[in-house]
Amino acid sequence: MIEVRNVKFVYNEGAEDEKEALHNVSFTVNDGEFVALVGHNGSGKSTLARLFNGLLAPSSGIVKVDGMDTSDKKALFDIRKTVGVVFQNPDNQMVASVIEDDVAFGPENLGLASEEISERVEWALKSVGMAEHRKGTPFRLSGGQKQRIAIAGVLAVKPKVMVLDESTAMLDPLGRDEVMNVITRLNREEKMTVIMITHFMEEAALADRIIVMRDGRVAAEGGKEIFRKRELIESAGLELPVAARIAAKLRERGLDIEGDVTLPGELIDALCP
């Protein structure tokens, strides 16, 4: 679904403040996969998110989305229909003063019939638990609620790929759980491809695969077994999930804990089989 091949990206190329944000990055994301993209600040995650939907084009190398080259300007409309990105700051993503109009903005741009638009708006708002707010204004909502509206706006376009760039960062733990439940359900039931950029290792642990970025390069990729590589994770400026840290400590003290423990429930199962 997404192919990143030998991608270099330079901001302000040729200027004094030029900055190479990505150096020769390659990976693929399969259709229907749930991938977590993790890494410390400045490691290039948001740059990748902008490359996925053609907001940026690589300085060299290729980014392909569902077979379409993002450097091909004629393909941009279809690429943006295919990849929906939810960004960090919900305030920059609001376009209308009534919530349902805000969520309708994307599907309206697709030129859909008004019945189809209202169905999608209702479905998307229900999916994020904000249906009762549809007539309200987004400006009075909390950051977390605004972010759920932004997610609904992307959902309403029904993209094949949903990219969330630290989109849960402003939510309280409950709101974060709600969003993660929505995202995992969309991935499992609607086969939506999900790329989740996150600082929360517990969220990354829900993914099929984890890609670790460090200083504009892929430092590691793999399944949950990646959390066994404590040094590698920590050298990328990240922390292991709490359950994995506790499991590692218990292993150090001689307890025999089998399997890849990354979620609290798995730790409980390992300790109380």
Using rule CB under 5 A, residue 46 touches Mg ion: yes
Beta bridge partners of 19: 11
- Interface characters, 10-39, with ligand ADP (x: CB under 6 A): -xx------x-x-----------------x
- Smallest separation, CB 46 to Mg ion (Å): 3
Using rule CB under 6 A, residue 262 touches ligand ADP: no
- Angle (nearest 5°) at CA 117 between 112 and 118: 160
- Smallest separation, CB 11 to ligand ADP (Å): 3
- Smallest separation, CB 163 to ligand ADP (Å): 12
Task: Tell me the two tokens of residue 177.
Answer: 């759980």
- Interface characters, 37-76, with ligand ADP (x: CB under 6 A): --x-xxxxxxx-----------------------------
- Smallest separation, CB 18 to ligand ADP (Å): 8
Contacts with Mg ion, residue ranges (CB under 5 A): 45-46
Binding residues for ligand ADP (CB under 6 A): 11-12, 19, 21, 39, 41-47
